[in-house]
Structure 1
């Protein structure tokens, strides 16, 4: 009589758990980025889509009309006779601000990075305008730059007849640029100081032994080592220069003529003074494209001159 085959006594394979360690880590990561992602969607992505949608409409708030016009606003943008002057003023302001701000901030950072007495006081002094209210800062400078203001009072005391800084086409833009430079140079100054303090001192000592001058050390050691910070500050300054509004509104109101009417102020005039919100939205799209293009260009050029990207 044949025996029945023995049954296997090995335990069944364990069932895989759904909440594995990997899945719990992924869930924790998603939960951590959710607030930032929601903020981006609600306050950046959705408004951007709405601006593009509004730019295809003629929206008159006073009349209560909201009519679809397709690409008419973009056609108007192309034919706008004021737009070349506005873009010229915007470019002049941005170039002047970026050059003066970065140059002055780097120069001050190099000076304040020296081991001298009183540098902490000067660091605080240069950074303090950054935390001052922008409108308050601009109002004070408006009084200083008036025809009978403090600046011309100082010039008159030494026998110099100062111009009407904010009402002369040759000095209005320069005045706005200088006011903005003094307001925000402290931010770039702090960033440059942090970068300079991270440069190894051994490099300077080796260069000194090899006979390199201070100027050559600056260009061969300092600039390459802090080039990532230069990239960061340049992007921040360029984007900020294209978004300037309060300084123009308080100091010059776009004048004299349209010599200081930058793109953001022109957008404000069209949308909130002339109640042409559709065309204002079209100008917003143009501003977004300009900022995006300049940021991409700077980011792509980093491979040529940023030390750590080579």
Structure 2
């Protein structure tokens, strides 16, 4: 018995095999992080860090010409609240955004529905409407600037039908409308393509069943088409709203904020304060205001999706 106990105690306990560090799960995670590393680095360098720097600059006053840079606390934000021009600038921004979003989305959806039909030459028309999207923004705006002059191509065409056109870019009642129309024609093709892709994903069986039930085309559009493409409508509305709040080149090339301040939107006003008047601290404060407006509107649209976007309620 003692011999058996002695021999049993002499047997070493079994050792655990060490688990390798680079398991299949960790390798998959590492590969995933490597794939997103360039995008993540770009977002940090060109988005996150500039946002933090803008917020920091908004509490300072930086005069490049005088070579001074000092902290002013919340003075820039108090100046923002007391700025007499800011209400008019915000009103112009709201008018431009509302006009652009309404015309762009409405026209894009109408073109998508029309070009989704089996029409002769629809590929050519799709290309024509989308081609302005790939044209240089500045070149597009310069050409339209010539067309909208008092003796430009638009008024020359109106003269042929006996109508005397106004000075589109110098009238307070027509300048904002002109800028909106130029921007609508520039980007309507992008939303049109997105709507076309959504429309082609709607099952035809739904329309056939609705036709059998006696539903007309208008009722089919509101009861079938709009609900099923509502996620795309949400996407395009967010993209268009954010883009409308960031308009700059069209204003700078066509009207320079005039006549008066009738087309001075928030981004152009920011540019004036920072790069024309060299108030970089106040310009940074306006940038913070723009960021907050975009953030609030995006969150509102995202929350409203639960009420009208299909599969979200």
TM-score greater than 0.5 by the shorter chain: yes
Q: Which residue of 2 aligns with 1:94?
A: 97
Q: Tell me the equivalent position of 2:26.
A: 23
Of the structure 1 ranges 35-44 and 17-26, higher mean CA displacement relative to structure 2 is found in 17-26
**Residue of structure 1 aligned with 2:296, choices 293, 297, 306:** 293
- Name the structure 2 match of 1:117: 120
Corresponding residue SS for 2:311: helix
Q: Say if 2:51 is the partner of 1:48.
A: yes
Shift of 1:299: 0.4
Q: Distance in 2 between matches of 1:238 and 1:59?
A: 31
Aligned to 1:210: 213
CA displacement at 1:11 relative to structure 2: 4.7
Moved more, 11-20 or 134-143: 11-20
TM-score (norm 1): 0.98
| Length-normalised TM-score, structure 2 | 0.97
TM superposition shift of 1:26: 1.9
Matched residues in 1 for 2:155 and 2:147: separation?
8
Q: Equivalents in 2 of 1:300, 1:142: separation in Å?
A: 39
Q: Deviations over 1:57-104 (max 9, x none)?
A: 110000000010010000000000000000000000000000000000
- Would the alpha carbon gap of residues 157 and 27 (structure 1) be closer, same or farther in structure 2, given more than 3 Å must change? same
Q: 1:244 aligns with which of 222, 241, 247?
A: 247
1:58 partner SS: strand
Aligned to 1:199: 202
Paired positions, count: 310
1:15 deviation in Å?
2.1
After superposing the two structures, state which structure 1 stretch, 28-37 or 75-84, moved more.
28-37
SS at 1:128's partner residue?
A: helix
- Give ranges in structure 1 of 5+ residues lacking alignment: none
Aligned mates of 1:3, 1:255 — CA distance in 2: 107
- 1:189 paired to 2:192: yes
Which stretch has the larger CA shift, 25-34 or 43-52?
Answer: 25-34
Aligned to 1:306: 309
Question: SS of the counterpart of 1:260?
Answer: coil
Q: Distance in 2 between matches of 1:9 and 1:280?
A: 75
Corresponding residue number in structure 2 for 1:127:
130
- For the pair 1:276 / 2:271, whether they are aligned, the reply is no
SS at match of 1:309: coil
Q: Is 1:79 the equivalent of 2:82?
A: yes
Superimposed CA distance per residue, residues 147-203 of structure 1 (whole angstroms, 9 cap, x where no aligned partner): 111111111111111111000000000000000000000000000000000000000
1:230 to 230, 233, 237: 233
2: CA distance between counterparts of 1:237 and 1:54?
A: 29
* RMSD of equivalent CA atoms: 1.2
**1:17 & 1:146 partners in 2: Cα distance?**
73
Equivalent in the alignment of 2:3: 3
More displaced, 130-139 or 4-13?
4-13
Unpaired segments ≥5 residues, structure 2: none
